Amino acid sequence: MRSPIQHPQVPANNFEMSTFVITMLRGLVVFHGKSDECPRAHLWRFHELIDGIKINGVPQDAIQLRYFPFTLEGQAKAWLDNRPPGSISTFTSLADKFLTRNHPPSKTTDLQN
């Protein structure tokens, strides 16, 4: 199965995913796609943690796209896995699709009423 995420080319050859970071994310920032979870808060917590990772020559977008899938489980992970192969090429696109899926306008309308 091909990934829905089209990872950008990274000019640096010093980018290796850290098992420490993956473990940290999975311990602190997990989203299951349940109705009582807030997708905006999930993205905010993810940004708060991942923004501290800087690697010379590696765009932040590449780092975010690599690590974000590790924060999803259950329905949320299934949703991402079922996106068309190569359909996501930027973190902004991924975040927009994630919010649309997990916080649709109808949910906002329900909260306002």
pLDDT tens, 41-56? 999 999 999 999 998 8
Residues 70 and 106: their CA atoms lie apart, in Å, by: 27
pLDDT per position as a tens digit, 43-95: 999 999 999 999 888 999 999 999 999 999 999 999 999 999 999 999 999 99
The model scores a pTM over 0.75? yes
Residues 93 and 109: their CA atoms lie apart, in Å, by: 23
Classify 94 as helix, strand or coil. Answer: helix
Distances (CA, A) of 89 to 16, 19, 77, 80: 19, 23, 17, 13
